[in-house]
Structure 1
């Protein structure tokens, strides 16, 4: 990967020739170096600003956004992308997988007979492998069970992650299952998750109204009016 930049300071700081004394630049420098180290062969080169005119014009588009076509959209960042709070989980709370893991490991059941019967019935679809809970399925390969936090992350990655597909609710759930993950939130909350997506609400195709008013079909006698739906051809 060859990266071109017209900033003399950025190129020298990334290469290590300059020391980043600015706190804001240092916050951006750390993740950039981490990403470059993960690439097998990456080089950053400095070019003249005249040779970077196309990217320079793109960066100035937002200044003249009022003169652009309405089909061009901008996303305004209210806070810097480096302001992300890191949370370390020091305690793993119980979740929906806890009773299944306890039963498969040591046969532990709830004192409630109804809950114990339900757990024994559902546990036939699950098994443990290297301490991880998996679920057997009929129409897909064996899927990995995830807790609510991991399930929410799966929804985010598939819906608006690196590919930014912004899939509909049903397609989103099927794609996550095909990727090999299972969790209650995937089945129950994917509809509400898509409805809360800001980009889907802004740019989704809105169903249009019928070009004419609906008219009731009156029939004086049985079978006076026939209706048929033409569909196909199907494979």
Structure 2
């Protein structure tokens, strides 16, 4: 849902193999675990930010996308593919601490400036490097992604 929001999606159709999760999000079941209740509350708040949000259960045997992702994960390395994947190592319901680093030039500052405004450094050698490297990056929601 976060990625769809960052991409400014207005409508989201989400699918899951978990009958329990889809049932909880669709108010068919009530979670009992306090941690799951927090996740459900957060999911409900995020879902409300879309103009239209639907969440469907897809049985495992009908989930072709999961099969495709499994094949990509087990395929031989060396073939470049773009797959959006996010590993989460802590509960997402805890709020992260954000530190303000504005004003300090970082390695990504020239890339961000080039991608936003096509602004290059005065050093032509460095400017060519930034322009070349920028082809591998994108800015979504003010964040730089590779």
TM-score normalised to structure 1 length:
0.34
TM-score normalised to structure 2 length:
0.49
